[in-house]
Amino acid sequence: MSKRRDFLKKIGISSSLLSLGFIGSCSDSKNVSSNSQAQLPLFISTWNNHKANSTAFNTLKEGGTVLDAIESGIHVPENDPNDTSVGYGGRPDRDGYVTLDACMMSSDGNAGSVTFMSGFKNPISVARKVMENTPHVMLSGIGAEDFALQEGFEKINLLTDDSARALEEWSVKSKYAPKINAERHDTIGMLGIDAHGDLAGGCSTSGLAYKMRGRVGDSPIIGAGLYVDNEIGAATATGLGELIMKTVGSFLVVELMRNGLSPQEACKTAVKRIASRYNVDDSQVGFIAVNKNGAFGGYSLRSGFQYVVNKSPQTELFDSSYLL
Ligand code: SD4
């Protein structure tokens, strides 16, 4: 048995899944060097967003830029009413409003973001327009919605019957307790690197279910939910946004890579920083990162976090290594 298979068996990944090519090698620090061999282009996304990742890969193959690829990939969960953490069908706040946060960063260091935005299915595309068509980085609330209308985006109702029912059930106890890896906790953060080594990233979410009205999480905050530095690498985050914002998590991961850590070690160090400073009881945080060479990694506070990688049309699913 190969060392890789041996290692995967030890951590409980079955060889049948391996032979189906569905699960890739767990990028624990032990075998990170095995993926430092660049195979570009590459896309990596939080959670099991495999359709989003393969859509991005195909967009690039068909001649789109890495930014086009990420935008098209993120549309997949944004448009999916059954994805209750992103876009249409996202769980509402406790007053019944679905409010969305999203951002994009390109290889030239430009950034755009929308926060606390209602009524538009694809906040990632509005964030891109903020980046490309305004002198600003972030538009929020009504201003973001007016801007989206001006840019020709269609206004729709984001609250599905299923989400309205879920809120009604939640309202019986009204206990705000974001659940670890639950509530289809699958905010999408996607990083991409093209064949020339140029990086870009995007992040999109409806935030935490039953949050207070007006709450904005880490996902649209440049440096917290996403950071791209085309000289070094890129990182994105998922989980309890308050913990990620307080540590400017994605920026921290990129700076750790700048100081020489591998993507995997950088994610792990950022998670450890969070755990050493804050009460992390009942919380989940996960980071993924890719460096300029196409090496990648991911790390989370607790078990259950997954991420997907495409170095080819075929998607690999990874169970993240974790701290607690
Ligand atoms: C937030 N980080 O709004 C997001 C939530 C998340 O999967 O990642 N959910 O805090």
Is the pLDDT assigned to residue 306 strictly greater than 70?
A: yes
The secondary element (H helix, E strand) that includes residue 76 is helix 66-79
CA geometry: angle 218, 219, 223, nearest 5 deg: 70
Mean pLDDT of 55-68: 98
Task: Determine if ligand 1 sits within 6 Å of the CB of residue 84.
Answer: no
Q: Residue 178's pLDDT is what? A: 77
- In angstroms, the Cα distances linking 26 to 21, 118, 197, 236, 297 are 13, 37, 23, 18, 9
For ligand 1, mutation pick of 184, 219, 287 (most atoms within 8 Å of CB): 219
Mean pLDDT value across residues 42-61: 97
More confident residue, 6 or 303: 303
Superfamily for domain range 36-322: (Glycosyl)asparaginase (3.60.20.30)
- Nearest ligand 1 atom to the CA of 101 is 3
Query: 72 pLDDT exceeds 70?
Result: yes
Residue 142 Cα to ligand 1 midpoint, Å, equals 22
Q: How far is CA 108 from CA 44, 124, 199, 228, in A?
A: 20, 18, 9, 9
Distance, CA of 285 to CA of 156 (rounded, Å): 31
Give CA–CA dist 64/56, Å, rounded.
Answer: 9
Q: Is the pLDDT of residue 147 over 60?
A: yes
**What's the average model confidence in pLDDT over 221-247?**
98
Residue nearest atom 10 of ligand 1, based on CA coordinates: 241
Q: 178: Cβ below 6 Å to ligand 1? A: no
Report the separation in Å between the CA atom of 203 and the middle of ligand 1, taken as the mean of its atom positions: 10
**Beta-carbon neighbour count of residue 293 at 10 Å?**
16
How many A from CA of 38 to the centre of ligand 1? 30
Q: Which of 10-24, 185-199, 248-262 has the lowest mean pLDDT?
A: 10-24
186 in ligand 1 pocket by Cβ < 6 Å? yes
Percent of the chain past pLDDT 90, that is, above it, reads 82
Centroid of ligand 1 to alpha carbon of 87 (angstroms): 12
pLDDT at residue 70 is higher than 70: yes
pLDDT at residue number 182: 54
Q: Is residue 31 over pLDDT 90?
A: no
In short, whether 77's Cβ falls inside 6 Å of ligand 1 is: no
Across 164-181, average pLDDT? 84
Backbone angles phi, psi at 100, to 5 degrees: -110, 150
Exactly one of 55, 115, 187, 247 is catalytic; which is it?
A: 187
Supply the pLDDT for residue 174: 84
247 a catalytic residue: no
Q: Ligand 1, residues 49, 117, 187: which to mutate, most atoms within 8 A of Cβ?
A: 187
Candidate from 20-34, 65-79, 245-259 with smallest mean pLDDT: 20-34
pLDDT > 70: what percent of the chain?
86
Average pLDDT rounded to a whole number, residues 116-132: 98
Confidence of residue 181 (pLDDT cuts 50, 70, 90): low
Task: Give the pLDDT confidence of 246-269 residue by residue, as tens digits.
Answer: 999 999 999 999 999 999 999 999
In this predicted structure, what is the pLDDT of residue 98?
A: 97
Tell which wins on pLDDT, 12 or 150. 150
* 102-116 pLDDT, tens digit each: 999 999 999 999 999
Q: Which residue, chain included where needed, has tokens 């549309």?
A: 75
Query: In the predicted model, what is the mean pLDDT of residues 157-177?
Result: 91
pLDDT at 323 over 60: yes
Q: Is the CB of 239 under 6 A from ligand 1?
A: yes
Report domain extents, the chain.
Answer: 36-322
Task: Give the pLDDT mean for 106-130.
Answer: 98
